Amino acid sequence: MTRKVLAALAVALAIASCPVQAQPPKEVNWGYPVQSAYFWDVFAAIDFGYMAEQGLKVNPIITQNVTQQMQMLVTNAVDIVSANTELVISAIDKGADLAIIAGETARQGYALIARPEINSYSDLKGKVLGITQLREASGTALELLLKKNGVNPGEYSVIPLGGTPNRFAALTRGAVAATMLSPPADFKALSQGMKRLGFGYEGLEAPQILFTIQRDWGRKNEDTLVRFLKATLKASRWLYDPKNKEAAANVLVKAIGGSHEDALMSYDYFFGQGRVAAHELEVTPAGIKAFLDLRNSEDKPEKYLDLSYLNKTLGK
């Protein structure tokens, strides 16, 4: 055997004996508007290392409000958002190249919470009520719920207050007579003497929070997106197992604060009888059509959906 051959073998053996360098995790910027139980699945996927198992480093970014969230998505400040369905539909109708890819909630999660002196829906006539913004989001859910219970637009006034923390503060300080609150803020308000009049899904049976992306980003990052959904799906399945209720409450408190008791009640609402959380991250054309019907739109739900990533996640 020649010296050249021996040298080549020595080099090959040296290379083979070197430890393989692990690929650095792929960073994903995930945007969500406010600290709430809606995003329990992603909180759990991060906390339990499910995202890391998929080779991802997810950077949670609070976008502060639903309108700013859309702006951050279209300007690439975030890659994936947990977004209000109605806001996504509006953004797409205005020309944004977005797509809804999976469900985070299957139903409207809002609860209508009122001041202690409010005993019925009729007591809200002539009162000032708090909403997220003048159109869409909690404003639509509130209007539909009130109308169903005999209180029509024009019989009350509304004031846009932004996210849940602002609406909670306005309610508990007496600036508004009632407002829509998201868990666990609604349970916290109840513990302070406020009253629950009803639930958002009683006025509109349709999904509230959906995973949304820019279509171009999705095409360029399909593998990353599927891995994100796989980790989230694993967390969602774990959350839906009732034996994990106590541990799930710990995850929520760790992620957003609040009391363990409020987290337990939120669990029952999301994964128990309320079944607010989307099962298997499902989002259906029928759920999108419910919003389109409100707008008297003739567009098809498929205009807003791209379920190819979820289907790959589920092995379909």
Calpha distance 82→87 (Å, rounded): 11
Band the pLDDT of 147: cuts 50, 70, 90. very high
Band the pLDDT of 11: cuts 50, 70, 90. very low
User: What integer pLDDT is reported at residue 12 of this predicted model?
Assistant: 45
User: What integer pLDDT is reported at residue 2 of this predicted model?
Assistant: 54
User: What integer pLDDT is reported at residue 8 of this predicted model?
Assistant: 45
Q: How many CA atoms lie within 13 A of 314 on its CB side?
A: 14
Q: What are residue 29's DSSP bridge partners?
A: 59
Using alpha carbons, select from 288, 82, 88 the residue that is nearest to residue 204.
288
Residue listed under structure tokens 């541990």: 247
Calpha distance 162→150 (Å, rounded): 26
Average pLDDT over residues 129-143: 85
Report the percentage of the chain scoring pLDDT > 90.
82
User: What integer pLDDT is reported at residue 183 of this predicted model?
Assistant: 92
Flag whether pLDDT at 179 surpasses 80: yes
Calpha distance 240→280 (Å, rounded): 10
Write out pLDDT tens, residues 192-213.
Answer: 999 999 999 999 999 999 999 9
Calpha distance 235→49 (Å, rounded): 10
List, in sequence order, every beta strand (DSSP E) within the chain.
26-32, 56-62, 80-84, 98-103, 111-114, 128-131, 157-160, 178-181, 195-199, 209-214
User: What integer pLDDT is reported at residue 19 of this predicted model?
Assistant: 40
User: What integer pLDDT is reported at residue 9 of this predicted model?
Assistant: 44
Flag whether pLDDT at 231 surpasses 50: yes
Band the pLDDT of 288: cuts 50, 70, 90. very high
Using alpha carbons, select from 301, 277, 290 the residue that is nearest to residue 82.
277
**273 close to 66: Cβ distance less than 8 angstroms:** no
Write out pLDDT tens, residues 55-104.
Answer: 999 999 998 777 788 899 999 999 999 999 999 999 999 999 999 999 99
Flag whether pLDDT at 18 surpasses 80: no
Flag whether pLDDT at 27 surpasses 70: yes
Helix axis angle for 260-271 and 245-256, nearest 10°, is: 120
Flag whether pLDDT at 20 surpasses 80: no
Best-predicted range by mean pLDDT (127-141, 236-250, 267-281): 236-250
User: What integer pLDDT is reported at residue 22 of this predicted model?
Assistant: 61
Flag whether pLDDT at 157 surpasses 90: yes
**98 close to 92: Cβ distance less than 8 angstroms:** yes
Average pLDDT over residues 9-26: 54
Tally Cβ neighbours within 10 Å of residue 254: 12
Using alpha carbons, select from 29, 19, 8, 33 the residue that is nearest to residue 210.
33
Calpha distance 35→30 (Å, rounded): 13
Tally Cβ neighbours within 10 Å of residue 76: 11
User: What integer pLDDT is reported at residue 40 of this predicted model?
Assistant: 98
Calpha distance 62→163 (Å, rounded): 11
- Predicted structure pTM score: 0.89
**41 close to 235: Cβ distance less than 8 angstroms:** yes
**AA identity, residue 216:** D
Tell me what the pLDDT averaged over the chain comes to.
91
